[in-house]
Amino acid sequence: MDKGVLTLPGNRETCTEEDKDGLFRVKRVTDKFYQRFNLPDSADATAISADYRQGVLEISNPKQAEVQPKRIQVKAN
């Protein structure tokens, strides 16, 4: 995460095989990509975590603890 933008790099690979008229052809394609997400100001950049299971990427982005207003006791004389 940098300046409120979370960037996820990835690779995509495909492979096709063709056997036609005694000729065997293999075609492999590899692509790189980036997915970017603008995060709200309330996102806690130090607590972002990711988990990849069974082909699913799960990203946890907790909010920052809200700053509570400070109460000041005023003494009357």
Quick check: 39 and 62 in contact, CB under 8 A? no
Over residues 15-71, the pLDDT tens digits come to 999 988 888 999 999 999 999 999 888 888 888 899 999 989 999 988 887 766 788
Residue with tokens 């972002």: 48
pTM of the model as a whole: 0.57
The DSSP-derived string for 32-57 is EEEEEEEPPTTB-GGG-EEEEETTEE
Looking at residue 9, its pLDDT comes to 92
**Pairwise CA distance, residues 61 & 48, whole Å:** 5
C-alpha of 37 from chain center: 7
